Amino acid sequence: SLHTTTSGRRPHPPGPSGIPVLGALPLVGPAPHTGLASLARKHGPVMYLKMGTCGVVVASSPGAARTFLKALDARFANRPAMASAADITYGCQNMVFANYGAKWKLMRKLSSVHLLGPRALADWARVRRDEAGRAVRGMAESARAGRPVAVAELLVCALANIVGQITVSKRVFDAQGDESNSYKEMIVSLLTGTGMFNISDFVPALSWLDLQGVQAKLRRVHSQFDGLITKLLAEHAATAHQRAREGRLDFVDKLRASNDQDEEGETITEVNIKGLIFDMFTAGTDTSSIIVEWAMAEMLKNPSIMARAQEEMDRVVGRERRLEESDIANLPYLQAVCKEAMRLHPSTPLSLPHFSFEECEVDGYRVPANTRLLINIWAIGRDPSAWEEPLEFRPERFLPSGPAAKVDPMGNNFELIPFGAGRRICAGKLAGMLFVQYFLGTLVQGFDWRLPDGEEKVDMGETFGLALPKAVPLRALVTPRLVPDAYA
Ligand code: HEM
């Protein structure tokens, strides 16, 4: 038949042929999400290519994502061994890069029960309200001083303080400034380093050369980060008695306690604990802040969208008090803005790589065992067969009367999968959604926004890594719009 080669085996899905050794790597270019999207326009939504010695399959349409993350989800639930990942994640003993197996399951379950599931999230509401309050006070101060607000830095700082409190009972940064800047730099270097198409990962024979210098840089940043985590854990140990006496255990306390219950013979080691803290600080902070920053940039570019969002705030919340999380359900336009920002600016454009256990068949083609799977979330959100005017920032499409009213981003509708889908879907999707809605809402309700004098246009360029932040961080001037008491 058409799909049988002379050897009697089915062929791989279509794709570009590359050059010796590097394969298709040079075709992908420095911004792989766009490079792979243009290759997919030529070769199709299920594309197979060689990157170095590795086989890679790329899904670039909602239908292709459904095939891999629903029909074939179990077979692709592993993670590839990546040199750049092993260097920064305690040899993949964290959750994000763990192989699909009993240890991963246990880490995921404990994280959900004690940190990221609906009940745990409700328990930490006070921490989020507190940090949003501090952020708002800091912004009111910037307003008085006529100083622009650096949106991403402000948010990363607030989110890291939330993560610090719920994992190890510690606010990690007292104020914005040098300390939070260096922390943000650490995260950014880690995310850009891991997301980069690292030649060593694809051509293991060349890995000792570290051609791009990625691993050396990652190892440096990682040892800095490990220093921070080690210090936090030492302080944490010193105050364990007090927390036990007062009955207010944090995530790390609960992880340790879970070992006494001997879950199916699996235990959480001290290295796993470090790995999980690392995951929460990296996966849990810059992802949400990137989306809020993009949403603010889009609204500064489109003032009528900002006006509509603020009009909704005035009607539903008023100006006498700050937004609360319980208001979000009554703010459909805010929700629509968040979805639209996630569609056009997903924080992890190629998701995280998956890896197949065994050979399988897709649309009559053969995908071998040990193939990497990339889901081009970025291209899917801009797919013209799924979205009207895909490049326009138009929150109205998600309103109850709009064409995408029923599309939710939680992994059920494959045209919008900012958190991925299936077994490996983002473990923090509820927290991420809440962070984005609550913090974006707080910024929009609390302040009027304008660009600093002399800046006429918002720069909308992207920087590619594992995450996709704005190339130029957004800075803007704010004016309070609530009664003064609301900022106290
Ligand atoms: C809006 C914010 C966020 C976005 C867009 C996002 C997106 C993603 C994506 C695309 C993945 C990969 C899914 C896959 O492999 O198929 C992922 C994995 C993960 N995320 Fe998130 N994330 C966000 C926030 C968070 C938060 C707040 C946390 C925790 C505090 C978190 C923790 C994780 C973890 C632990 C994984 C690995 C799951 C696994 O491998 O089983 N994320 N996220």
CA angle at 427 for the pair 334 and 96, rounded to the nearest 5°:
130
Mean pLDDT of 217-240: 87
CA 106 to CA 238: how far, in whole Å?
Answer: 27
The answer, yes or no, to whether any atom of ligand 1 lies below 6 A from the CB of 285, is no
Q: Is the residue at 18 inside a domain?
A: no
Q: Is the pLDDT of residue 113 over 90?
A: yes
Q: Look at ligand 1, atom 37, and give the residue with the nearest C-alpha.
A: 96
- For residue 358 the two structure tokens come to 């065994």
What confidence score (pLDDT) does residue 296 get? 97
Structurally, how many domains does the chain consist of? 1
Strands (DSSP E) contained in 233-341 are none
CA 405 to CA 476: how far, in whole Å?
Answer: 31
Report H helices in 324-409: 332-344, 377-381
What confidence score (pLDDT) does residue 309 get? 98
Q: Is the residue at 371 inside a domain?
A: yes
Query: Which residues are documented as binding site for heme?
Result: 426
Q: Is the residue at 9 inside a domain?
A: no
The answer, yes or no, to whether any atom of ligand 1 lies below 6 A from the CB of 292, is no
The answer, yes or no, to whether any atom of ligand 1 lies below 6 A from the CB of 427, is yes
Ligand 1 centre to CA of 428 (Å) is 5
Q: For 86-95, 112-121, 296-305, which range has the lowest pLDDT when averaged over its residues?
A: 86-95
What confidence score (pLDDT) does residue 194 get? 58
Q: Look at ligand 1, atom 9, and give the residue with the nearest C-alpha.
A: 419
Question: Which ligand 1 atom lies nearest to the CA of residue 433?
Answer: 1
Q: Is the pLDDT of residue 1 over 50?
A: no
Pairing outcome for strands 447-450 and 475-480: antiparallel
As a whole number, the mean pLDDT across the chain is: 89
Mean pLDDT of 126-153: 94
Ligand 1 centre to CA of 12 (Å) is 30
What confidence score (pLDDT) does residue 407 get? 97
Cβ neighbours of 270 (radius 10 Å): 12
The answer, yes or no, to whether any atom of ligand 1 lies below 6 A from the CB of 347, is yes
Query: Which residues are documented as binding site?
Result: 426
Q: Is the pLDDT of residue 193 over 60?
A: no
Q: Is the residue at 8 inside a domain?
A: no
Query: Are the C-beta atoms of 202 and 54 separated by less than 8 Å?
Result: yes
The answer, yes or no, to whether any atom of ligand 1 lies below 6 A from the CB of 280, is yes
Q: Is the pLDDT of residue 180 over 90?
A: no
Q: Which helix (H) or strand (E) holds 477?
A: strand 475-480
Which has more pLDDT, 211 or 133?
A: 133
Ligand 1 centre to CA of 424 (Å) is 9
Nearest Cα residue to 417 out of 59, 108, 62: 62
Which has more pLDDT, 453 or 119?
A: 119
pLDDT per residue as tens digits for the range 289-323: 999 999 999 999 999 999 999 999 999 999 999 99
CA 44 to CA 38: how far, in whole Å?
Answer: 10
Report H helices in 51-195: 62-66, 83-88, 102-111, 118-123, 125-145, 151-168, 178-195
For residue 437, report the phi and psi dihedrals to the nearest 5 degrees.
Answer: -65, -45
Q: Is the pLDDT of residue 197 over 70?
A: no
What confidence score (pLDDT) does residue 488 get? 85
pLDDT per residue as tens digits for the range 426-473: 999 999 999 999 999 999 999 999 999 888 889 888 877 667 777 788
Mean pLDDT of 266-285: 92
| In the chain, % of residues over pLDDT 70 | 88
Mean pLDDT of 259-270: 81
Domain harbouring 374, CATH code: 1.10.630.10
The answer, yes or no, to whether any atom of ligand 1 lies below 6 A from the CB of 351, is yes
The answer, yes or no, to whether any atom of ligand 1 lies below 6 A from the CB of 45, is no
CA 278 to CA 274: how far, in whole Å?
Answer: 6
Ligand 1 centre to CA of 14 (Å) is 30
| Residue 224's pLDDT band (cuts 50, 70, 90) | confident
The residue type at 177: G
Q: Look at ligand 1, atom 18, and give the residue with the nearest C-alpha.
A: 426
Q: Is the pTM of this model over 0.90?
A: yes
ipTM field: 0.99
Nearest Cα residue to 82 out of 98, 71, 70, 95: 98
Question: Which ligand 1 atom lies nearest to the CA of residue 377?
Answer: 10
| Residue 2's pLDDT band (cuts 50, 70, 90) | very low
Mean pLDDT of 190-208: 61
Q: Is the pLDDT of residue 4 over 60?
A: no
What confidence score (pLDDT) does residue 403 get? 97
The answer, yes or no, to whether any atom of ligand 1 lies below 6 A from the CB of 432, is yes
The answer, yes or no, to whether any atom of ligand 1 lies below 6 A from the CB of 436, is yes
Q: Look at ligand 1, atom 34, and give the residue with the nearest C-alpha.
A: 427
The answer, yes or no, to whether any atom of ligand 1 lies below 6 A from the CB of 394, is no
Q: Is the residue at 385 inside a domain?
A: yes
Q: Look at ligand 1, atom 17, and give the residue with the nearest C-alpha.
A: 426
The answer, yes or no, to whether any atom of ligand 1 lies below 6 A from the CB of 424, is yes
Q: Is the residue at 156 inside a domain?
A: yes
Q: Is the residue at 483 inside a domain?
A: yes
Q: Look at ligand 1, atom 24, and give the residue with the nearest C-alpha.
A: 432
Instruction: Tell me the best of 419, 434, 440 to mutate to test the pocket of ligand 1, counting ligand atoms within 8 Å of each CB and taking the most.
Output: 419
Q: Look at ligand 1, atom 20, and give the residue with the nearest C-alpha.
A: 426
CA 390 to CA 74: how far, in whole Å?
Answer: 31
Its domain, for residue 62, covers 25-487
Is the Cα torsion angle 431, 348, 422, 330 positive or negative in sign?
Answer: positive
Q: Is the pLDDT of residue 196 over 60?
A: no
Which has more pLDDT, 16 or 202?
A: 16
| Residue 255's pLDDT band (cuts 50, 70, 90) | very high
Q: Look at ligand 1, atom 15, and give the residue with the nearest C-alpha.
A: 352
What confidence score (pLDDT) does residue 20 get? 75
Mean pLDDT of 223-241: 90
Q: For 198-202, 282-286, 318-322, 395-399, which range has the lowest pLDDT when averaged over its residues?
A: 198-202
CA 17 to CA 50: how far, in whole Å?
Answer: 8
Q: Is the pLDDT of residue 83 over 80?
A: no
Q: Is the residue at 151 inside a domain?
A: yes
Q: Is the pLDDT of residue 166 over 60?
A: yes
